[in-house]
Structure 1
Amino acid sequence: MKQQVLKALANPSHIFYVPYSLAVLNFAVLFLCYMVAFVVSLILSKGMKPVSPMFFIFGVIGVHSVLAYFSKKDPQLGQIVIAKFNLMKRKIPRKLAA
């Protein structure tokens, strides 16, 4: 029982070599950025020249590759990032959060 718990904590779930939480966060942030860029380009060009969705696809692949590289070095990267977000939500001073 104890080994199963430790294994689950030591090996978080992955999507293509990136921790699940970081992969979902990556996709969500890039999707929102793409939608903002798409709407702004439609407004500025009056509907004539929207942003290509290939920017979104290449962005997701590029950032996912970088995350895979860093998460290979540190398997707990997703948990570290989520813990930092939780500390920022609670407004804990930076001196204590480091």
Structure 2
Amino acid sequence: MTDHAPVTPVLEPGAPFAVAIRTPTFLFQMAPAGGRKALEKVHSGSIAEPDVDEECATVTGGPTGEVGARIVRPAGVSGATPATPAADTATTSAPRQRSCGGRM
């Protein structure tokens, strides 16, 4: 068993992109300028992001001799946690500001 309380996932309210593309007029039916405007609109909202504890590490290896790693965990949690996809690769808004000195 785990030694921490479960964390409730944070999802985008209403999933605006999915809602926006499920009915006509579809992107492929729009002129390029209209399509860009539609995408900018659905990508313009903000999402709630849970608090996290971050750690930056450097590991010897790779073609340059060092590889940077950003370790992100739910805030205040210790011990094993389930594997989860990186939040900033799956969102429709700008990624969270990275704090490892710009190495990643």
Same fold per superposition (TM over 0.5): no
Under a length normalisation based on structure 2, what TM-score does the superposition of the two structures give? Answer: 0.28
Under a length normalisation based on structure 1, what TM-score does the superposition of the two structures give? Answer: 0.30
- Larger strand proportion, structure 1 or 2? 2
* Larger RCO (alpha carbons 8 Å, 6+ apart): 1
